[in-house]
Amino acid sequence: METLNGLRRLLAAILLIGMSGTLVELLLLRHLEDPVQWIPVALLGCGLLAVPWHARARSAGSAAVVRLLMVLFVAAGFAGVYYHFTANVEFQKETDPSLAGRALVWKALAATVPPALAPGVMLQLGLVGLAYTYRHKER
């Protein structure tokens, strides 16, 4: 049981560091231009409140809140990759209408603004958070 508690503390620390860094990065990049861009910012803010709350309370309710947030992180990660990728495809088509197929996909994936796979960090954080609350038991 001691090993499991230590692992949970480590996962919580990794999660808090990852959420903090990602939130700071999004704020520095001004990832706030439209309402959809606020979603990861809001989720990260909520996560930064919920994880310490759960670490202290260790209740079924706090675990459920963290799990729900982490499922939303995963969904936001998938949605973000989709939005970034489609924006890149549209941009690549505008700049070079002859692009299609595999060449277009690779160009869209390699684009740096917006980075197509960057939202995958939300997916990773969500999975870490789900591992953190896996088989949670109240004190």
Q: Could you read off the pLDDT of 40-76 as tens digits, one per residue?
A: 999 999 999 999 999 999 999 999 999 999 999 999 9
Q: How confident is the model at residue 4 (pLDDT cuts 50, 70, 90)?
A: confident
Q: Say what the pLDDT of residue 138 is.
A: 60
This prediction's pTM: 0.92
Q: Say what the pLDDT of residue 9 is.
A: 94
Question: At residue 136, does pLDDT exceed 90?
Answer: no
Q: Say what the pLDDT of residue 111 is.
A: 92
Q: What is the mean pLDDT of residues 82-108?
A: 95
H, E, C per residue of the chain:
CHHHHHHHHHHHHHHHHHHHHHHHHHHHCCCCCCHHHHHHHHHHHHHHHHHHHHHHHCCHHHHHHHHHHHHHHHHHHHHHHHHHHHHHHHHHHHHCCCCCHHHHHHHHHHCECCECCCCHHHHHHHHHHHHHCCCCCCC
